[in-house]
């Protein structure tokens, strides 16, 4: 399974690197996936994750690579999807930005026994994901200031004045949905480790 994961990751990364719409945007969007790959490689033997988590991380990396290749505002499948006036692929990315980190945080907190009480653990996870999303929005702002008008593709606001707030709301929703829907499955896999 490890080789299949790595093959899907590397093939998608190679595809996304071929003639991306905005090379600088591609690099900024794909960098977290590549960093994640290195972190997973470094911790594979000392702190292996559940299969669920490896699968979620791969899906999140694929979302980043597709968004990096086309830019989040121009992913073809999402042009006018469900009659929307804007391309909402970035909302998928921000939902995943809450969904996947929630499960990563959950696994770390449970396995390291940082927070034993499940209710408090869920509160902390949701707060972490919302804070991470806000931090990412601040990074986007810094990139926009440094890059000037060439940051438009990276920001992907598409003229929507509430883009930052709805991005954070999607991450918050993603974290909550992950905890509600995947908690029992995750618990079963954690018992096998």
Range of the domain at 144: 2-72+79-192
* pLDDT tens by residue, 7-20: 999 999 999 999 99
How many angstroms separate the CA atoms of 79 and 85, rounded?
Answer: 8
Q: Is the pLDDT of residue 190 over 90?
A: yes
Residue 150 scores a pLDDT above 90: no
According to the model, what pLDDT value does residue 137 have? Answer: 86
Compute the average pLDDT of residues 130-151: 82
Instruction: For the chain, give the longest Cα–Cα distance.
Output: 50
Model confidence at 124: pLDDT above 90: yes
Residue 45: strand, helix, or coil: coil
pLDDT averaged over every residue in the chain = 91
Looking at residue 139, its pLDDT comes to: 85
Instruction: Check residue 57 and give its pLDDT.
Output: 98
Q: What is the pLDDT of residues 77-118, one digit of tens each?
A: 887 666 667 888 999 999 999 999 999 999 999 999 999 999
Number of domain units in the chain: 1
Q: pLDDT at residue 161 above 60?
A: yes
Query: Residue 117 and residue 150: Cα distance in Å, rounded?
Result: 46
Rounded to an integer, the average pLDDT of 45-58 is: 97
Tokens matching residue 166: 């709805």
Supply the pLDDT for residue 47.
Answer: 97
pLDDT band (50, 70, 90) for residue 160: low
pLDDT top residue among 4 and 143? 4
Q: Backbone phi, then psi, for 152, in 5-degree steps?
A: -55, -40
């Amino acid at each position: 399974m490890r080789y299949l994961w790595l093959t899907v990751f590397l093939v998608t990364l190679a595809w996304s690197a071929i003639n991306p719409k905005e090379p600088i945007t591609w690099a900024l969007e794909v960098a977290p996936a590549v960093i994640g790959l290195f972190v997973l490689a470094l911790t594979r033997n000392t702190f292996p994750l559940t299969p669920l988590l490896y699968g979620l991380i791969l899906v999140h990396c694929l979302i980043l690579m597709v968004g990096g290749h086309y830019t989040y505002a121009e992913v073809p499948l999402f042009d006018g999807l469900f009659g929307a006036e804007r391309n909402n692929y970035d909302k998928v990315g921000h939902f995943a930005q809450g969904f996947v980190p929630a499960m990563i945080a959950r696994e770390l907190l449970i396995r390291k026994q940082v927070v034993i009480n499940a209710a408090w653990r869920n509160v902390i996870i949701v707060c972490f994901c919302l804070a991470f999303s806000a931090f990412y929005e601040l990074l986007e702002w810094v990139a926009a200031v440094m890059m000037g008008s060439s940051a438009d593709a990276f920001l992907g606001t598409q003229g929507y004045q509430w883009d930052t707030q709805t991005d954070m709301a999607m991450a918050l929703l993603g974290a909550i949905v992950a905890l509600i829907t995947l908690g029992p499955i995750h618990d079963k896999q954690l018992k096998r480790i």
